[in-house]
Amino acid sequence: MNILEAVKIHKSYGNKFNKQEVLMGIDLNIRKGEFVSIMGASGSGKTTLLNVLSSIDKVSDGTIYIEGKEMTSMKERQLAEFRKNYLGFIFQDYNLLDTLTVKENILLPLSITKTPKRAAEEKFKTVAIDLGIYELKDKYPNEISGGQKQRTSAARAFIHEPSIIFADEPTGALDSKSASDLLNKLSDLNQKRNATILMVTHDPVAASYCSRVIFIKDGRIYTQLNKGEQSRQGLFQDIMKTQGVLGGVQNEH
């Protein structure tokens, strides 16, 4: 079953005299329970793609369906409604409210959907224990480490069981130990909760935790790799090779 389906999406900036095309007709399908990463060099349009898919930015052309609902024609108000029910976010710079405690931050999405307090408490406990931050619940964001902040951010994305979670360079600001911790937790949760995750990254190690890796280049899908039966190390090797072919300035003949 397809959770997300994008058909021929285009995105351009600027006016008609000075047009900068960033996405040039991308088709994408993501099934339930997949852990997909999008890779590409700087300026390849991967963050724009994520913003467009996650309704933060509008497409210039094309359609996006999430759980069969067409999202591209929705009004701002409906989009907000949609985001709070169907989407979860993890950002590179955590995006935690520093005036709220860890627990209050995590519970935010539930307060929008007006979940009863008891159920909210239950959900909080499960997800916080899964991510190993339950003990930190009464601390403020500036009292904890970057890795812990990012796990808090992840907990906030998971708690309301969204259809799909978007992660924008979640390991970008973390040291390698915290990064691998977080990725392990993400892939655990992906397995355990059958959660769908779409992650943008330029870190091959991070991408190797995924079940599928999509490479984009200059606004188009260049190729994709499936993990299949191979080990994480195997996938990592493949990613490196693909990046080698893809990366840098090409020698034109």
Partner 1 sequence: MSINQLILRSLKKNLKNYYLYVFALMFTVALYFAFVTLQYDPAMDETKGSIKGAAAIRTASVLLVAIVSIFLLYANNIFIKRRSKEIGLFQLVGMTKGKILQILTIENLILYFSSTLIGIFIGFSVSKLITMILFKLTKVDGIASLHFSSEAFIQTLIVFSVIYLFITLMNWFFIKKQSILSLFRVKSSTEEKVKKVSIFQMLYGIAGILLIILGYYVSSKLFGGDFVTINELFLAMVFILAAVIIGTYLFYKGSVRFIFYLIRKKKDGYLNIHQVLSLSSIMFRMKSNALLLTIITTVSALAVGLLSLSYISYYSAEENAQYTVGGDFAFTNMEDAQTFKLKLTENKIDFTERKFEVIQVEANLENIIVSNLDENLLTNDLTSMPVPVISDQSLDHIDLSKGDILFTGYNDMLNMFFSFKDSGNLELIGKQHTIPLAFQGLQKEQYLSYYFTAGGSPSAIVDDTVFQTLREDKDPSIQGEYSLHIGINLVDESKAEEAAEIFRSTFTDDTYHLSRIERSNEQKHLYGLIMFIVGFLGLTFLITSGCILYFKQMDESEEEKPNYTILRKLGFTEEDLAKGIQAKQIFNFGIPLTIGLLHGYFAVQSGWFLFGTEVWTPMIIVMVLYTALYSIFGILSVFYYKKVIKEAL
Q: Which residues bind partner 1 (CB under 8 A)?
A: 56, 76-77, 80-85, 87, 89, 95-101, 103-104, 106-112, 117, 120-121, 124, 137-143, 156
Quote the least distance from Cβ 116 to partner 1, whole Å: 10
User: Which of these, 39, 43, 63, lies nearest to 53 by C-alpha position?
Assistant: 63
Residue type, 99: T
Residue 146 or 247 having the CB closest to partner 1: 146
Q: What does the DSSP assignment read for 165-224?
A: EEEESTTTTS-HHHHHHHHHHHHHHHHHS---EEEE-S-HHHHTTSSEEEEEETTEEEEE
Pick the closer one to partner 1 by CB: 199 or 207. Answer: 199
Alpha-carbon distance of 24 to 168, in angstroms, equals: 21
State the nearest-atom distance from the C-beta of 126 to partner 1, in Å.
15
E-assigned strand segments in the chain? 2-13, 20-31, 35-39, 61-66, 69-70, 87-90, 164-168, 197-200, 212-217, 220-226
Q: Which is nearer to partner 1, 3 or 120 (CB)?
A: 120
The alpha carbon of residue 202 and the mean position of all alpha carbons in its chain are separated, in whole angstroms, by 13
Comparing CA positions, the residue from 100, 88, 96 lying closest to residue 157 is 88
Among 81, 83, 13, CA closest to 55: 83
Nearer to partner 1, 85 or 243 (CB): 85
| Placement of tokens 């239950």 in the chain | 122
Neighbouring CB atoms inside 10 A of 69's CB total: 12
Of the pair 165, 207, the CB lying nearest partner 1 is at 165
Of residues 97 and 240, the one with the C-beta less far from partner 1: 97
User: In angstroms, what is the minimal distance from the CB of 47 to partner 1?
Assistant: 14
We find the least distance from the C-beta atom of residue 194 to partner 1, in angstroms, to be 22
Contact indicator for 152, 133 with CB cutoff of 8 Å: yes
Closest distance to partner 1 from the beta carbon of 136 (Å): 12
Least Å distance between CB 3 and partner 1?
A: 17
d(CA 158, CA 89): 9
Report in angstroms how near the CB of residue 57 gets to partner 1 at its nearest. Answer: 9
- Minimum CB distance to partner 1 smaller for 38 or for 90: 90
